[in-house]
Amino acid sequence: MRFTERLRTGAKVYSFEFYPPKTDEDTARLFTAAVELKKLGPDFVSVTNSSSGVAPYRTVALCGVLKAQLGLEVVAHLTCLAHTRAEIAEICDGLRKMGIDNILALRGDPHNVAPGGLRRDYSYASQLTADLKRLGGFALGGACYPEKHPEAPSLEADIARLKEKVDAGAEYLITQLFFDNSHYFNFLDKAAAAGISVPVLPGLMPLTGYRQMQNFTKMMRVEVPAALRGGIERWDGDKDGMFKFSVDYASRQARELLERGAPGLHLYTLNRSRAAMEILRNVRGAAAR
């Protein structure tokens, strides 16, 4: 089933994101988390991949297992920098055979592609989206960046590139994580002014430590508001205090987003369930009151 059908009804959509495990320990943690999160009835789970040539095949395999064994609706991430058009078609054939008909089309990070691994067939996610649209049979989504992609010269330039992706066939968008909701609403206004009208699912993840906060601000170039930074610094070293503070902060973010019209929530799990479960329970509990 294409989860975009639920989006069209106006019902709130809730989803979780996983990444393919690399070790036996990671695998056990992932499936423990997936079993727990399934109890919350997510509309879909997504499975990431890196930009390397082999990663999509691991993603396809994990998607198939999550769907076949757990009955979860799955969105497969698919990057294109390290693949030819023929390889993309082959990957899509594998997804179809597993009953996966939702794809998040991505360019991928060129820094993660092994030397000599870059292919010339694709330069942008919009090109991959157009090819997937021609192949047919998939509900297509794309990524977006409320604070702009790190490589973009400006948010306006980034949105212009995003419009190409939507025009090529992206039916919904999922945001990079952010910690200040004003970025999301400002992005929506500018995207609408550029003619982008597809649903935009906000991506959220609680920060769990000072080092993680430093990594996100350095790699993803997202703003960490003073209130969040202060709490992370205060609770650093106190695992329980840090967890409660981070979940409470993300839950407040989530409630405001939903109250102001966001079509749902996409929660980045890092293959763990506890924080995502608490956030979604907090949100649903508030909605029921």
Chain centroid, CA 132 distance in Å: 19
Based on the residue annotation, tell me whether 223 is a catalytic residue of this protein.
no
Which residue in this structure is represented by tokens 């999509």?
Answer: 56
Say which residues have a Cβ less than 8 Å from residue 37's Cβ, sequence separation at least 6. Answer: 16, 45, 269, 273, 276, 277
Q: Which residues pair with 15 in a beta bridge?
A: 44, 266
Instruction: Out of 5, 17, 164, 256, pick the active-site residue.
Output: 17
Pairing relation of β-strands 200-201 and 203-204?
Answer: unpaired
Comparing CA positions, the residue from 172, 164, 102 lying closest to residue 130 is 164
Residue 55's alpha-carbon distances to 76, 158, 226, 244, in angstroms, are 12, 26, 37, 34
C-alpha 70/C-alpha 68 separation (Å) is 6
- For 38, the enclosing helix (H) or strand (E) is helix 24-38
Active centre residues (catalytic): 17
